[in-house]
Amino acid sequence: MTQGSERVAVVFGGASGIGAAIATRFTVEGWRVEVADLPTVDVTDEATVATFLDGVLAAHGRLDAVVNSAGVSTLGNVVDLDVAEWRRVVDVCLTGGFVVIKQAGRRLTAGGSIVSLSSLNARQPGAGLAPYCAAKAGLSMLTEVAALELGPSGIRVNAIAPGLIVTPLTQPAMDIAGIEDDYLENTPLGRAGTPDEIAEAAVYLTNAQWVTGEVLDINGGAHLKRYPDLNKHVLAAFG
């Protein structure tokens, strides 16, 4: 790889789903894009994140945008959930977000941008989703704090909070009878979003020079209604 004047973006969690759509959209927009994902890069491992970003800087001579799309989830009530499972989700969705923001904030070219993937669950609770909801709510607030701290350096920090997007992360839930219908009944626009629609928002936030500390809800209006009762559908499907 050679150094050049093209803007350079790194997408963590960019191998599939929303992250892959963002990486593709940035490429179409003329960016040089580097994808960081398992098994090579684990966002919970600070040393590998730092090493990857240093490699991008060495190869391209600049770093203009970093997107963190890495995420995992689980399903289990608070009183039943194993602590190790709680930590697994929080480590990826919140601690991983912290690691990416920390290391990106140290390396971004002046005027650079960080975009994280939060969730509708940052503001709307879902039974059985305690670690995911808590982690995404934390990530949204972390976005605001980091925007305050990095603003004087000219670095903008924003997040996107999608509603239902069918991806490898959400597909197992969609395969359970009744869940997708429940989501759509509680989405005023009546449909799921697409990874490309989230990618469009990521490009906007990266280019928007006077936007920082924003958590952009893209959920078809789902935040105006209620979250589906996942436990009810799981019980009906599996007893």
What are the residue numbers of the active site? 132
The contacts found for 73-76 with CB under 8 angstroms, 24 or more apart, are: 73/129, 73/131, 73/132, 73/169, 74/129, 74/131, 74/132, 75/128, 75/129, 75/173, 75/230, 75/234, 76/128, 76/130
Can you tell me the distance from the alpha carbon of 123 to that of 100, in angstroms, rounded to the nearest whole number? 22
* Alpha helical stretches, state H, the chain: 17-28, 46-60, 83-90, 96-107, 130-150, 171-174, 179-185, 195-207, 230-238
Phi, psi of 219 (to 5 degrees): -145, 15
**What is the CA angle 96-204-151, rounded to 5?**
60
CB atoms within 10 A of CB 87: 13
Phi, psi of 152 (to 5 degrees): -60, -20
How far the first Cα of the chain sits from its last, in Å, is 54
